[in-house]
Amino acid sequence: MNGRVDGADRALLELLVRPSKEGEPSSLMVWVDTAFDGELVVPRPMIEKFGLPQSAAVKATLADGTVVILETFDCEIKWFGEWRSVEVVANEGQLPLLGIGLLKGRKLVVDYRCAELLLD
């Protein structure tokens, strides 16, 4: 999978997402966040736009040590040619985040000189 580095030096990757096997796929640009140990974090307005079904809530510890309860939603993403079910955490941020829960077992190369991202 190929991505890019934007003008703010964010490593970005475009995914296809859908709410279920019957759902219509939509494009989602995600920011690769190697400090996030989950799979995906998506802003609440995007979750509503995609029609993702709520699944549960999880306790999470933020970077500043604050412990919060976050709602989670079910989603499918196109991941290396196959649809994969993932848990999406809702937040109030601006950009979706892709965490190491999806990067495990993969090789990630971010080339800031060429503004390219390679995920293998």
CA distances from 102 to 36, 58, 65, 97, 106 (A): 10, 18, 23, 11, 8
CA–CA–CA angle 54, 51, 1 (5° rounding): 95
Portion of the chain with pLDDT greater than 90, in percent: 82
- pLDDT (0 to 100) of residue 59: 87
Residues 56-95: pLDDT tens digits? 888 888 789 999 888 999 999 999 999 999 999 998 888 9
Residue 64: CB atoms within 10 Å: 5
> pTM score, two decimals?
0.89
Convert the pLDDT of each residue in 9-51 to its tens digit: 999 999 999 999 999 999 999 999 999 989 999 999 999 999 9
Structural domains of the chain, with CATH: 2-119 (2.40.70.10)
